[in-house]
Structure 1
């Protein structure tokens, strides 16, 4: 892409923002420019002020959200602190972290048309913009539906369509793919790639899923823990040249880059540092085996995370669960068992019924009586207090479960309901706040936390009751890498101590790294379930479910010069060369078809045009055990991207 040398479209100078009730600015002092045609990725640890910065770009902060703002922002020559938000909306199109915060009408078509209508555009142009935007995100065929009927990922695509319809020269997206399945992510980035090819618009992107974003962006701006600019430069200079620094800071990196850093410690050179699965595979094939340690060691047994023993008791049983939302049946005769002490991932495309299923398990949505039992309790007959002692639930949107006015009281509420002494409540609350890095926010209102901090608080509120089952909907949404690792390590510790963990996620690397058992949903039915490694060895199943293999598996399958690596799918297994050596005799997996980084935008555009969402094969809409083509990969804890 050719980046314009014209006057910057966005000019940020020494921007500092302090929310009402807070004393520390986040961001503290940020300066950078964006010119037409640029795609800029904004990175930083949770709490550094990324989302706050985006809210300031179109004047919502401080004009609608009270805050003290220092420094200045100009968009297309307009001062965002003094120009009305309505006028700024024609220059800055916003897609928030939470799509529900910006959806207001009764149909998808009305929602997308709402913005252009308020600009008093001719009807024909309004309808043309709305149709084009909805087609770009794959929602045109559902244009007459209510937005409430969409899945979380569907609502995010709708929010992107609303921003596209405004035609603003600067598009600001705050984690736009956080709730999307892999196919949806490809569609969104395909649409965005097509949007910026003309070179007259710019995009500022806040994103944790760098595996999807890295080939799309031109430049990276990094904020540090204190809200200052730590790096600003081209993708290669920042993500390759400063990868070790960013990793230490707790910022997300592409999975292939994290893998390469681990392999470097094991003796591989890997120069330049890979950013994509294709680059990692090519780099491994271009160098000899590391000589610093021997690969000839053999051990008597291979370490892997085992499933709970077959004799383990069932802690959750689901029998013939059919669930309706309004007039729509979203689950159809689901049967499912979850063994006590297991770590289960529930995956599937947007709209597959994942959130509906776990909400029925936790009683958030009341299931028909007799269909769901948790620890012997009939969820359809149980009261909320009794149910909370058996199963804790963490919502996809953390704000949906906050009830107190301070972070401290939010955690303490569950303990006070148990009638514990005040001293014990304070001690346990402070311990949990420390564990989740929220001590400094103890007196803040939960709604004033960053997205990542809200997520950690929501997990903390679910943990305090000590229920034997913990269910989480997208647990790493809004988290920086360090906090995601910390959270997942905590979940692993709880799991090792006997707590049953059930997560819904679109992060396939997270599933591979942590879950011993996986359930695949499609069209409201269980498509398949079984050991995680077995499921991800079945490429046909993964493709038909609308999913994608984890990034590390895509990178290492088919490594010709190092076939001993081809069976590794989990990040934490990489540095242990003695374990790698034990895999040397395993058969090499087939090599996936590569897509070069330089061709990403062109390919993404063509994918959007020629590959609309596909229906699940009806023959797979029955519960069946997957057929494993290879022995399962070893398991151990590791971070996910």
Structure 2
């Protein structure tokens, strides 16, 4: 990073935006002092911290233990900072090291866990938590320290939609109550954008800003999405697209659904509720299905020790299909995936792959047939360089060297990793690791591919690239199953969605049907994407993409 200068006001809520791999996490690690003190590198210039007694001081002029009491950080991958065996020990670990009194430690542990929605989890083993639960535990450990500045690197990436809103509400409430300064790195901005006071943009090794949020959207417009490849709120997308077509909304570009609805209703556009279109208008439904499913789970049950995870579950996954598995944190989605390629075996029932029980396959043959991309990408890297990680799968197919090189370079360019071809996979940013893990699995064109949070940590452009790769794979005959908390991706890409709750599939159908099933959504702690919510207010029925909504608004208003 070069010539970085900016100020953050005490008690403010700041959003840090930038492409995947642009240096957002590097900026955060410098602010908290992990770079260069622990990970190496060199800093020039000064980073000033508001010390509660000394005022603004250079970070280097105070000790590390003083600094971490003032500025603390939640890492992008919660597993990078969970170091103990139980939730209670994890949240209290730093407090014990700072020699707080036992009664104070207990008070802070209970309070922090309650704030992140994990009351009663004190005795749970951290090894058996879901990714989203680990994220909450790591956040609780930060909150228990009661810092003055809290830096959050993708704090909601592993959380279910309702959990995302809960955590952001908690952070906002604590920030206001304690005058806490919060800097958050986040790609998916629909929930966070209207909450923040300022936006910092990381681009080309520089930090630009801070901007007032509406100023950022007004001045940079769709360039942020289309040229820089960043996520922007769906309500802002609709406002910007309408402005491009000559329909300027009163009050400027909206930052959330409520502002958009109010602006459209007070504009010259006269919109009356419409009958919902027939199936197939918003997406290509239904796609052709094979009569023989690629995967079938029949009356499957699975337990971890005494904890029942899946109960008499039934599910089909078809060829030529993108199937989204959704549900709240800890509902068993990753367990379901591990059953499909033989990592786990069901306690009751049978899992079939191409009509054959998984128990009848050798493990080697099964994992070749069913590719599984883990939630944590580091768990499956096998080569020393980014290039070889992609090329490895092609070499195992016996492809000629020149063809291996040609396909590898093309794919690395697609996932924006060509300039890191000689780097170790382990030194990439988390978003880059995720892209590499997906690319390494799909390059050999498996017949069944299961992905756990495939777009975690991705900017808009790379999320679209990855999902288009999966769409192409399904169109060529593969069965693609992706586990996600991102309802936007479900709306735009899934042919079918299955909702897992209390160990069973409680919904199996098209996304547009799911997003109006209020009881199902409430029970599974899911929320429709923003566009599906505010399109109901505007048109009387859900629309799944911003472009489709703009076209409907134009049609309904005679534009």
Q: Tell me the residue number matched to 1:459.
A: 438
User: Greater CA deviation, 529-538 or 566-575?
Assistant: 566-575
Per the TM alignment, residue 209 of structure 1 is displaced from its structure 2 partner at its CA by 2.3
Q: How big is each residue's C-alpha offset from its partner over 1:218-277, in whole Å with a ceiling of 9 and x where there is no partner?
A: 1110111x1212332222211333233322211211121122223334443224111111
1:148 paired to 2:123: no
CA distance, structure 1, for counterparts of residue 61 and residue 318 of structure 2: 58
Alpha-carbon distance change, 29 to 313 in structure 1, aligned in 2, over 3 angstroms: farther
CA distance in 2, matches of 1:440, 1:103: 32
**Alignment of structure 1 residues 536-551 onto 2, 5 Å:** 536-551=515-530
8 Å contact kept, 1:40–1:219: yes
Which of residues 283, 306, 320 in structure 1 aligns to 2:263? 283
What's 2:156 paired with? 177
Q: Distance in 1 between matches of 2:141 and 2:267?
A: 48
Partner of 1:48: 22
Whether 2:208 is the aligned partner of 1:230: answer: yes
Unaligned runs of 5+ in 1: 1-15, 17-27, 585-641
Alignment partner of 2:548 out of 558, 566, 573: 573
Q: CA deviation at 1:158?
A: 0.7
- Relative to structure 1, the CA distance from residue 260 to residue 82 in structure 2 (aligned partners, 3 Å threshold; closer, same or farther) is same
Higher helix share: 2
For residue 380 of structure 1, give the secondary structure of its aligned residue in structure 2: helix
Distance 1:160 1:303 in 2: 38
Aligned to 1:507: 486
Q: Deviations over 1:80-100 (max 9, x none)?
A: 467554332111121111111
2-side partners of 1:326 and 1:426: how far apart?
47
Task: Report what 2:224 is aligned to.
Answer: 246
Distance 1:393 1:71, change over 3 A: farther
Shift of 1:442: 0.2
Counterpart contact for 1:57–1:75, Cα < 8 Å? no
Shift of residue 473 of structure 1?
1.1
Contact 2:160 2:485 in 1 (8 A): yes
Q: Deviations for 1:505-536, whole angstroms, at most 9, x for unmatched residues? A: 11112111111111011011111111222222
Flag the 1:363–1:238 CA change in 2: closer, same or farther, 3 A. Answer: same
Looking at structure 2, the residues matched to 46 and 524 of structure 1 have their Cα atoms a distance apart, in angstroms, of: 34
Aligned partners of 1:583, 1:344: CA distance in 2, in Å? 35
Q: 1:567 to 1:34 in 2, by over 3 A?
A: closer
423-432 or 339-348, which moves further after superposition?
423-432
- Cα distance 1:512–1:220, how it changes in 2: closer, same or farther (>3 A)? same
Q: Distance in 2 between matches of 1:568 and 1:438?
A: 34
Name the stretch that deviates more: 421-430 or 156-165.
421-430
Q: Tell me, what secondary structure is at the counterpart of 2:47?
A: strand
Counterpart Cα distance in 2 of 1:299 and 1:150: 42
Alignment of 1:72-111 (within 5 A): 72-76=46-50, 77-80=56-59, 84-111=63-90
Residue equivalent to 1:418: 397
Give secondary structure in 2 for the equivalent of 1:30. coil
Residue of structure 1 equivalent to 2:343: 364
Matched, 1:57 2:35: no
Distance 2:165 2:520 in 1: 19
The question of 1:398 aligning with 2:377 is answered yes
What is residue 33 of structure 1 aligned with on the other side? 7
Matches of 2:190 and 2:282, distance apart in 1: 28
> How far off is 1:67 after superposition?
2.5
Quick one: distance in 2 between partners of 1:82 and 1:497? 60
Work out whether residues 40 and 217 of structure 1, in 8 Å CA contact, stay in contact via their aligned partners in 2. yes
Query: 1:377: Cα distance to partner?
Result: 4.3
Answer whether contact 1:56 1:80 (CA < 8 A) is retained.
no
How many residues align? The count is: 547
SS at match of 2:209: strand
Question: Separation in 1 of the partners of 2:351 and 2:306?
Answer: 21
Structure 1 counterpart SS, 2:201: strand
Partner of 1:192: helix, strand, or coil?
helix
Secondary structure at 2:191's aligned position in 1?
helix
Alpha-carbon separation, structure 2, partners of 1:367 and 1:70: 56
Within-5 A mapping of 1:149-228:
149-198=128-177, 200-224=179-203, 226-228=204-206
Q: Report SS of the residue matched to 1:94.
A: strand
Residues 383 and 50 of structure 1: CA distance in aligned 2, closer, same or farther (over 3 Å): farther
Contact 1:182–1:506 (Cα < 8 Å) also in 2: yes
In 2, Cα distance between equivalents of 1:156 and 1:507: 16
* Cα distance change on mapping 1:348 and 1:580 into 2, 3 Å: farther
Give, in whole Å, the separation in 1 of the partners of 2:234 and 2:211.
21
Taking the aligned partners of 1:416 and 1:301, their CA distance within structure 2 comes to 40
1:273 and 2:253 correspond = yes
CA deviations over 1:123-143 (Å, ceiling 9, x no partner): 221111111111111112111
More moved, 391-400 vs 513-522: 391-400
Q: 1:96 to 1:52 in 2, by over 3 A?
A: same
The secondary structure found in structure 2 opposite 1:32 is: coil
Choose from 333, 340, 343 the match for 2:319: 340
Is the Cα–Cα contact under 8 Å of residues 302 and 582 in structure 1 kept in the other structure?
A: no
1:268–1:290 CA contact under 8 A, matched in 2: no
What does 1:224-623 correspond to in 2, within 5 Å? 224=203, 226-247=204-225, 248-271=227-250, 272-289=252-269, 302=281, 304-309=283-288, 312-367=291-346, 371-559=350-538, 563=539, 566-576=541-551, 581=555
Query: What's the CA shift string for 1:300-328, capped at 9, x where partnerless?
Result: 99463112346643111111211223442
